[in-house]
Structure 1
Amino acid sequence: MKLRMVSAAAAAALALSLTATACGSDDSSTSTSGSSDKTITVGIKFDQPGIGLKTPDGKYTGLDVDVATYVAKQLGYKPSDIEWKEAKSADRETLLQRGDVDYIVASYSITPERQKKVDFAGPYLLAHQDVLIRADDNSIKKPEDLNNKKLCSVTGSTSAQNVKTKIAPQAQLQEYGGYSECLTGLENKVIDALTTDDAILAGYAAQPEFKGKFKLGGFKLSNENYGIGVEKGSDLKAKINTALEKMVQDGSWQEYVNKNLGPAGYKNEPAPKIGVIVS
């Protein structure tokens, strides 16, 4: 967070000097990013239902939004003090390195390559690559059953390729422009399964229009440790870790998971321990 310090102007009288100093102190404790108001800028996804979504009426919903808001509160910010900024996957490190955001909560998996560029608080969720299938489909009970099935993921994603390379070499890959297109194809039986992180899949499946139509395979094809990204060397890392620990202890973490991902039958892992990365 960037706090602007206002110096007390030189004054002839001691009383005036003290008054000016006091005003400067107040301003420094409530000002960020050159504003006269206290604000914090947080990066989230805008297009992942259940995780981070900007709704048509301008509201923000999802697990990451709830987590980010809780953390901001522990740092001394009200929800109205938060400035939300879209953090697309390819832009996350750049946003932090340029100082465009204070922290990022955006289904942000902690990886060694990313840790070279930014720091991570957390993790706050252990997700897994999984598949989403139709609720009435009993033909896919294990990963190998994806052989000869039409498997969808978004263009440029490595998830579907991982399945084809490592698990089901006869899977028929179908790449669509977005997850919503995959879901439509799955609903219409044009494709048989959709693959990406289970938390993301659960978020989509939990939407009212898809209620009861899909189910998670529960295959746990990989471990994805979701962390909160901060600028390299930032003292926010320790403060956010403290907030995350409190979030788990007071029950808020489980409440957020149940609310945002539970409707899809998401069976979450226990809350991860801070600093413990499951490989």
Structure 2
Amino acid sequence: MKADQPGLGFRKDGILRGFEVDVGTYIARHLGASRVTFQEVRSDNREQKLNDHVVDLVLASYSITPDRARLVSFGGPYYVAHQDVMVRRGQTRIKGVRDLAGRKMCEASGSVSTERVVTGLSIPAQLVPGASYSDCVAKLRRGTVDAVSTGDLVLAGFAAPDLRILNAPFTDEQYGVGMRKGDIEGCERVNRAITTMYQDGTAGRLLRKWFGHSGIQLVESVPQFEGCTE
């Protein structure tokens, strides 16, 4: 889990809380785990933590991409987020992703979200490195950057009176459960657990619990799985 993303995974008073913490616990219980131990990861060390056997599953706003799928296996996705943009409340000139051209946008270490903007959409934003999305949001508040762009669930967790989400999504981010490469049986079991989580109403309840106040559109139907392959 990440420990610095409010709403998804955030450590407070020594305890991790958030949507991904609850989803991870649900999946682990359905896999038969009698005890769940949480370890903190960052965007730039998730593969290493898995391959070093420090963790068995990663739920950390871990977008499924072809490059990452060559390194790890993915269950799910357990949610399809939509990439959006967050700006300071008084910023009115940025109305959509195209308005990021020439603007300073924070690039969280290990994340692929800025690549989708600069490379995927050919928008020439000025990238400013950040250690994590919590660091990026801090830079946004200080005025060091003009915008932060990533999945709407991540942005929703940081929502505050001085910040706003444009609510102008422009792509999808499939959040998957990372596991060691080639664990097909584990992937299939994870997918069955995710299906049950949506069918029994747990997923919808957790989404409303953590993000119902944010104003973003939440999807409570079972996501289309990528499939478990070598």
Is the CA contact (8 Å cut-off) linking 2:43 and 2:109 kept in structure 1?
no
**Structure 2 stretches lacking a partner, 5+ long:** none
Is the CA contact (8 Å cut-off) linking 1:51 and 1:64 kept in structure 2?
yes
Is structure 2 residue 20 aligned with structure 1 residue 70? no
Q: Which of 191, 194, 198 lines up with 1:244 in the alignment?
A: 194
SS of equivalent residue, structure 2 residue 77: strand
The alpha carbon displacement at 1:84 in A equals 1.0
Q: Which of 210, 214, 221 lines up with 2:170 in the alignment?
A: 221
- The one-letter code of the counterpart of 2:190 is I
Partner of 1:265: 215
How is 1:73-84 mapped onto 2 (pairs within 5 angstroms)?
Answer: 73-78=29-34, 81-84=35-38
Cα deviation code 1:231-250 (max 9, x no counterpart) = 32352222221111111012
SS of equivalent residue, structure 2 residue 39: strand
The alpha carbon displacement at 1:190 in A equals 4.9
Given the superposition, is the C-alpha separation of residues 240 and 180 from structure 1 closer, same or farther in structure 2, using an over 3 Å criterion? closer
- The one-letter code of the counterpart of 1:48 is Q
Aligned-residue CA RMSD (Å): 2.6
Given the superposition, is the C-alpha separation of residues 267 and 215 from structure 1 closer, same or farther in structure 2, using an over 3 Å criterion? farther
Is the CA contact (8 Å cut-off) linking 2:10 and 2:17 kept in structure 1?
yes
Is structure 2 residue 9 aligned with structure 1 residue 52? yes
Is the CA contact (8 Å cut-off) linking 1:87 and 1:106 kept in structure 2?
yes
Partner of 2:185: 235
For residues 162 and 220 of structure 1, the distance between their equivalents in structure 2, rounded to whole angstroms, comes to 12
Cα deviation code 1:69-107 (max 9, x no counterpart) = 1112223345xx111112322332233334332222111
SS of equivalent residue, structure 2 residue 223: coil
Partner of 1:95: 49
Is the CA contact (8 Å cut-off) linking 1:216 and 1:265 kept in structure 2?
no
Given the superposition, is the C-alpha separation of residues 95 and 186 from structure 1 closer, same or farther in structure 2, using an over 3 Å criterion? closer
How is 1:172-187 mapped onto 2 (pairs within 5 angstroms)?
Answer: 172-187=126-141
**Structure 1 stretches lacking a partner, 5+ long:** 1-43
The alpha carbon displacement at 1:253 in A equals 0.6
Given the superposition, is the C-alpha separation of residues 101 and 244 from structure 1 closer, same or farther in structure 2, using an over 3 Å criterion? same
Partner of 2:206: 256
For residues 20 and 52 of structure 2, the distance between their equivalents in structure 1, rounded to whole angstroms, comes to 22
For residues 96 and 155 of structure 1, the distance between their equivalents in structure 2, rounded to whole angstroms, comes to 18
For residues 94 and 144 of structure 2, the distance between their equivalents in structure 1, rounded to whole angstroms, comes to 16
Given the superposition, is the C-alpha separation of residues 112 and 155 from structure 1 closer, same or farther in structure 2, using an over 3 Å criterion? closer
The alpha carbon displacement at 1:224 in A equals 1.5
Larger radius of gyration: 1
Higher relative contact order (CA 8 A, sep 6+): 2
Cα deviation code 1:124-165 (max 9, x no counterpart) = 111232210234443322222233444333356553454345
Which of 171-180 and 253-262 deviates more? 171-180
Given the superposition, is the C-alpha separation of residues 228 and 142 from structure 1 closer, same or farther in structure 2, using an over 3 Å criterion? same
Is structure 2 residue 95 aligned with structure 1 residue 141? yes
Is the CA contact (8 Å cut-off) linking 1:126 and 1:271 kept in structure 2?
no
The alpha carbon displacement at 1:199 in A equals 1.8
- The one-letter code of the counterpart of 2:42 is K
Query: Normalized against structure 1, the TM-score is what?
Result: 0.69
SS of equivalent residue, structure 1 residue 257: helix
How is 1:10-29 mapped onto 2 (pairs within 5 angstroms)?
Answer: none
SS of equivalent residue, structure 1 residue 174: strand
Aligned residues: 225
Cα deviation code 1:225-278 (max 9, x no counterpart) = 11112232352222221111111012111121222233332223444434248x
Fraction of identical pairs, as percent: 37
Partner of 2:225: 275
Given the superposition, is the C-alpha separation of residues 105 and 154 from structure 1 closer, same or farther in structure 2, using an over 3 Å criterion? closer
Which of 235-244 and 183-192 deviates more? 183-192
* Greater fraction of residues in helix: 1
